[in-house]
């Protein structure tokens, strides 16, 4: 089967799978940090990507690289395989390896096998990535078997404004001030659960949610919560979760 036909078939199958997923709710105003993607990605690379999984994985690598703190940005195969979201996007762990190999063949990423460490490193094909591979080949950089701090694609917890709009209604300037105060007073887990309870009881108004939160602040959020954090106070709960007084 010609490559074009394989790519078209994969796109069609992918679109059928997408029909079963809920629609995207849109970007939030809190999206303050962006991911830098070189212009050549759009002009030179995007037209030659053969499979939808290649596009997903490559965009994931740009995102992953932006969240790294190391001077040399790289990806260990073991770390990539540990992110279930990436494995799912690629179609499973064997498919992830195949996708990485395909991206390597296209020149989108660079691969370095560190036999003495039994490790495989990948780099974005950028000046920094090419310099790192050259240093590895010359023995000037031995790599490291130290894991990155975990970087996994976990959906952000919705903020109080998004929860309000999705479950109660439009936000007025006065409502926004009230939500801001309550967001500072109560942990996000409490707010989410209180809204969930209000919706389940068909009481879609913020005063009802506030009543639940105030009751929890006075009486505690149930035996399970009390056992977990041994606290009746949202502030004590927040401090305990952060690990300091």
User: Look-up: residue for tokens 């809204």?
Assistant: 195
Side-chain half-sphere CA neighbours of 32 within 13 A: 1
SS3 111: strand
Query: Rounded to 5 degrees, what are φ and ψ at 76?
Result: -90, 135
Q: How far apart (Å, rounded) are the C-alpha atoms in residues 69 and 47?
A: 31
Closest CA to 177 of 188, 167, 187, 164: 164
Average pLDDT over residues 187-196: 90
Query: Rounded to 5 degrees, what are φ and ψ at 94?
Result: -60, -40
Q: How far apart (Å, rounded) are the C-alpha atoms in residues 226 and 218?
A: 12
Q: How far apart (Å, rounded) are the C-alpha atoms in residues 60 and 37?
A: 11
Could you tell me which residue, 184 or 71, shows the higher pLDDT? 184
Residue 2's pLDDT band, with cuts at 50, 70 and 90, is low
202 sits in the region (left: phi over 0; alpha: psi -120 to 50; else beta) called: left
Q: What is the CATH number of domain 3-13+38-137?
A: 1.10.10.10
pLDDT of 158 reads 73
Residue 228's pLDDT band, with cuts at 50, 70 and 90, is very low
Q: Which regions of the chain carry the CATH code 1.10.10.10?
A: 3-13+38-137
SS3 148: coil
| CATH for the 160-242 domain, from 1.10.150, 3.30.530, 1.10.10, 2.40.50 | 1.10.10
Could you tell me which residue, 149 or 216, shows the higher pLDDT? 216
Average pLDDT over residues 188-195: 90
Q: Which residues pair with 122 in a beta bridge?
A: 75, 111
Average pLDDT across the chain, whole number: 79
């Amino acid at each position: 089967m010609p490559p074009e036909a394989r790519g078209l078939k994969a796109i069609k199958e992918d679109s059928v799978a997408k029909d079963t997923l809920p629609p995207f709710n849109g970007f939030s105003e809190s999206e303050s940090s962006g991911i830098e993607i070189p212009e050549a990605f759009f002009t030179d690379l995007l037209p030659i990507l053969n499979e939808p999984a290649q596009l997903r994985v490559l965009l994931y690598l740009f995102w992953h690289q932006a969240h790294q703190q190391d001077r040399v940005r790289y990806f260990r195969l073991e770390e990539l395989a540990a992110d279930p979201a990436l494995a799912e996007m690629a179609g499973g762990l064997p498919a992830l390896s195949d996708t990485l190999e395909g991206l390597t063949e296209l020149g989108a990423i660079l691969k370095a096998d560190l036999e003495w460490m039994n490790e495989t490193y990948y780099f974005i094909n950028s000046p920094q990535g090419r310099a790192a591979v050259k240093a590895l080949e010359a023995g000037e950089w031995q790599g490291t078997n130290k894991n990155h701090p975990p970087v996994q694609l976990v959906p952000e917890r919705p903020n109080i404004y998004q929860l309000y709009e999705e479950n109660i209604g439009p936000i007025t300037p006065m409502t926004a001030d009230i939500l801001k105060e309550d967001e500072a007073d109560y942990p996000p887990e409490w707010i989410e659960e209180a809204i969930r309870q209000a919706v389940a009881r068909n009481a879609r108004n913020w005063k009802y949610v506030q009543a639940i939160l105030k009751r929890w602040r006075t009486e505690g959020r149930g035996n399970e919560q009390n056992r977990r954090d041994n606290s009746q106070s949202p502030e004590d709960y927040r401090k305990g979760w952060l690990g300091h007084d």
